[in-house]
Structure 1
């Protein structure tokens, strides 16, 4: 049971769809908040359709404010309580019982507009007598150490944000992973976070917030894991030819080496099936495992580069990103083939 919040900065690109689908496949969030989509209307409908979610709600793009989306499937029932240019406030119900209130936040880059956000969030805090979670891009810092780089002589702390935070007894849920959620060149900041009230902490005592790797936007996706992950279950499945195998650089030579032209068709197919299972396990490998390993390596490099420079690691990150694009493409082929079989 988890919530994903991501300032994608641009949802029109096909790469956004691929990356978000990959994150969804990895973490299976029950609710997704997309911030700064920068598209509305039919274009937004087309993108959301490709994400294969059942339900969605949107705040339209307005000037410099790039729009907010809420996406969810049938696991939860979501009712929109309030729309605003800087947030969507909703109730979340599971199995007929109120689970919590959730607010997807996108704070304006304008200090004046953000002041109105704190006033409205103050009212929501004051009225919420249930577990409440507010997560997103606040575009504001609580402490000086949440920024690195840029003009260090001028404080970047948003005093109105600090005042709202302290006046409402809001709890910063902390995080796991690299500290900074946003990067532009040599400037780093913790702009994205998950905040909650005491009721939510008491209901979800094992909740954790994860800063996921940056794979498309300047912002890291934020994953709020509300409970412990359940054990995975695997089962034996019948053998099927995978179209994704044909994208591997060694597959063509493998087929030339293993296909027997001297035997009858059924014998050749039977032997090839055994060889393909072995090749899939030892050469092609588990696409999902490879994806997790690549993401973990990229995350580790980004964590290191937050504190020091390394041209070697910068080049390695770009190489790993290209490898990840290949793995993502193979994963898409696998999921497409499964969807056609279903």
Structure 2
């Protein structure tokens, strides 16, 4: 977006954001904004460049790295972006999302044109994605993200490393409706269907595995008073239950159950890979991130996020 730094900050505030990091446009080329509110998160700007803004988002002991990209349309200048992104790679210790306008496509079906000669895929971009072992998050909504005079392409996307995929299994990228622009807005939802809340306003949710705990029956008997009405009993029981759920024994039980679930899913994936005559035995043992990534990838593909009507909407 082409706008002065002062105007950009003013627009950001009008949109309701308290903080904004800006990379100025060079003429009509480039320009990046990253805006946020830090009510319950801490955002640190790790590095800026004319083609990207690299941020670290912290919430408690958790970290997420997000890199916002505007790759140069000029392939020679864009080529310098890929080694820079290799250098800032946080590895698979932390989730990493790379999002934005890459001005390049990965596959031939991502570009459609009425012209006799069209731009081919960017081999440097494709090679970088493969080397970094990144996965395209896919999309829900209109497939192409840019259009002009009979040309359409999917040059905007969200990429993720294996840690991001395993941490945010249900994450989804939505292509929003076109509005007064030749670009389609992208929305990355880490927890679809959930509105972020502060810990103080988070509603109570009963965790079914609690009933398996040996101490659960005792907790119910000790906290429930027969002479008190139902509403007061429920309110008291919820408070006691929340405090009780934070004990280390319950956390261990939850970790144990998640580990068992992942083992079952992993075994199922190995079986499918073998039936499909996949060379799974050359790609690592049962604990390799290859299979974890493919499990999460299949989950995402099998989810129905939207339905296409006959009228194309």
Q: TM-score, normalised by structure 1?
A: 0.55
Cross-structure match for 1:69: 33
The 3-state SS of whatever aligns with 2:69 is strand
Q: Distance in 1 between matches of 2:82 and 2:52?
A: 11
**Deviation string, structure 1 residues 138-157 (Cα, Å, up to 9, x no partner):** 00010110011143545520
Flag the 1:78–1:55 CA change in 2: closer, same or farther, 3 A. Answer: same
Map 1:1-342; keep pairs closer than 5 Å: 37-73=1-37, 74-94=39-59, 96-125=60-89, 127=91, 129-230=93-194
The 3-state SS of whatever aligns with 1:125 is coil
Q: Distance in 2 between matches of 1:156 and 1:120?
A: 23
**What displacement does 1:178 show?**
1.5
Cross-structure match for 1:293: none
**What displacement does 1:70 show?**
0.7
CA contact (8 A) 2:92 2:163 kept: no
**What displacement does 1:160 show?**
0.6
CA contact (8 A) 1:178 1:303 kept: no
**Deviation string, structure 1 residues 68-114 (Cα, Å, up to 9, x no partner):** 111111242110000000000000012x2233100001010110111
Q: Distance in 2 between matches of 1:300 and 1:138?
A: 30
The 3-state SS of whatever aligns with 1:139 is coil
Runs of 4+ in 1 over 6 A off after TM superposition: 299-302
Unaligned runs of 5+ in 1: 1-36, 233-295, 305-342
Give the length in aligned residue pairs: 203
Q: Distance in 1 between matches of 2:193 and 2:165?
A: 18
The 3-state SS of whatever aligns with 2:54 is strand
Q: Distance in 2 between matches of 1:213 and 1:302?
A: 15
**What displacement does 1:125 show?**
2.6
* Greater helix fraction, Structure 1 or Structure 2: 1
Q: Distance in 1 between matches of 2:71 and 2:310?
A: 29
CA contact (8 A) 1:65 1:85 kept: no
Flag the 1:142–1:231 CA change in 2: closer, same or farther, 3 A. Answer: closer
Query: Which stretch has the larger CA shift, 152-161 or 128-137?
Result: 152-161
**What displacement does 1:222 show?**
0.6
Q: TM-score, normalised by structure 2?
A: 0.60
Q: Distance in 1 between matches of 2:27 and 2:173?
A: 31
Query: Which stretch has the larger CA shift, 141-150 or 80-89?
Result: 141-150
Flag the 1:58–1:205 CA change in 2: closer, same or farther, 3 A. Answer: same
**What displacement does 1:177 show?**
1.0
Higher relative contact order, chain-length normalized (CA < 8 Å, sep 6+): 1
CA contact (8 A) 1:91 1:98 kept: no
What is the Cα-based RMSD across aligned positions, in Å? 2.6
